[in-house]
Amino acid sequence: MTIESALVDGTGLIGTSAALALREKGVTVYLSDIDGRAVRLARELGAGREWAGEEADVAVIAVPPHLVGERLAELQKQGAARTYTDVASVKADPIADAERLGCDLTSYVPGHPLAGRERSGPAAARAELFQGRPWALCPGLRTDAEALRRARELVTLCGATAVTVGAAEHDSAVALVSHAPHLVASAMAASLQGGDDVALSLAGQGLRDVTRIAAGDPLLWQRILSGNAVAVAGVLDRIAADLAVAASALRSGDPAGVTDLLWRGVAGHGRIPGTPGCRDPAGSTGR
């Protein structure tokens, strides 16, 4: 193991969860955040000690996507770590910011753990948040091999599985598997505002599952979606069209129009790793 110390910059849900996971593996963790209360709470939860300028093996920048470039530039100026990574849900924009701000791109490995909760902040953090989850790493042409090796080690220490993918490919992938699903859940949940209390009292587990992620922080999600706007819009347009066609088929008493969507849904669901219908894409072992 070459990661003996880590700086977690941004002690929200993701940063504090990573800090807790690293602490469990015996890594020395330094914590920093512009919000002093968030650092104190993370420290009290056992996530590490307050950062006082020590150089760490790796710095995990766990701030909203639009602030990643700026924090990377600042931390590199301070010589905070040997390797830098971030956890933002979009990758092309933060990388462009880093280039524009003249960051050293050899020591920076853009990253994104596919894990989260509907609640945010350090109090919601869990050491096991990343257990068994995919964690995208998007090294560029200039990324140093040693930096990539260290980023992979970080992912392993957090219990996740590294998936190496180009930044543009990452952003188009998460538009499909994460960002569009969030807005789909939001739209389904928003329609519940029009329901009466008896209707809501009939809610079962299906509705709860479909809408669970709609409880996420709107301001954070607005930033994520804005950073991946065109790709997300493309997915949403297809889904909106499918739903409009289904509505029209139902109205005109044409069952085939609905049955087609139901069957395509079964097939698409079967492509998720770990579901019965899945052929194990990308070598996943399934669950």
Q: Rule CB under 8 A: say whether 222 interacts with a copy of itself.
A: yes
For residue 160 the two structure tokens come to: 């996740």
Q: How many CA atoms lie within 13 A of 283 on its CB side?
A: 4
Q: Beta strand 134-137 with 111-113: parallel, antiparallel or unpaired?
A: antiparallel
Q: Rule CB under 8 A: say whether 52 interacts with a copy of itself.
A: no
* Part of the chain binding a copy of itself (CB under 8 A), chosen from 53-61, 72-80, 110-118, 150-158: 110-118
Which of helix, strand or coil describes residue 21? helix
Binding positions for a copy of itself, 227-256, rule CB under 8 A: 229-230, 232-244, 246-248, 250-251, 253, 255
For residue 84 the two structure tokens come to: 């830098």
Residue 147 or 235 having the CB closest to a copy of itself: 235
Least distance (Å) from a copy of itself to the CB of residue 20? 18
Q: Rule CB under 8 A: say whether 285 interacts with a copy of itself.
A: no
Residue 81 or 173 having the CB closest to a copy of itself: 173
| Alpha-carbon separation of residue 254 from 21, 242, 275 (angstroms) | 53, 14, 30
Q: Rule CB under 8 A: say whether 215 interacts with a copy of itself.
A: yes
Binding positions for a copy of itself, 115-134, rule CB under 8 A: 115-116, 133-134
CB-based burial label for 113 (10 Å; 0-12, 13-18, 19+): buried
Least distance (Å) from a copy of itself to the CB of residue 153? 20
Q: Return all residues near 115 (Cβ < 8 A) that are at least 6 apart.
A: 14, 17, 129, 130, 133, 135, 160
The residue within the footprint of a copy of itself, chosen from 40, 124, 128, 273 (CB under 8 A), is 273
Q: Rule CB under 8 A: say whether 269 interacts with a copy of itself.
A: yes
Q: Rule CB under 8 A: say whether 174 interacts with a copy of itself.
A: yes
Q: Rule CB under 8 A: say whether 34 interacts with a copy of itself.
A: no
- Alpha carbon distance 270, 11 (integer Å): 36
- Alpha carbon distance 138, 169 (integer Å): 9
Least distance (Å) from a copy of itself to the CB of residue 117? 9
Residue 141 or 193 having the CB closest to a copy of itself: 193
* Part of the chain binding a copy of itself (CB under 8 A), chosen from 37-45, 70-78, 92-100, 186-194: 186-194
Q: Strand (E) positions, 92-235?
A: 108-109, 111-113, 134-137, 161-164
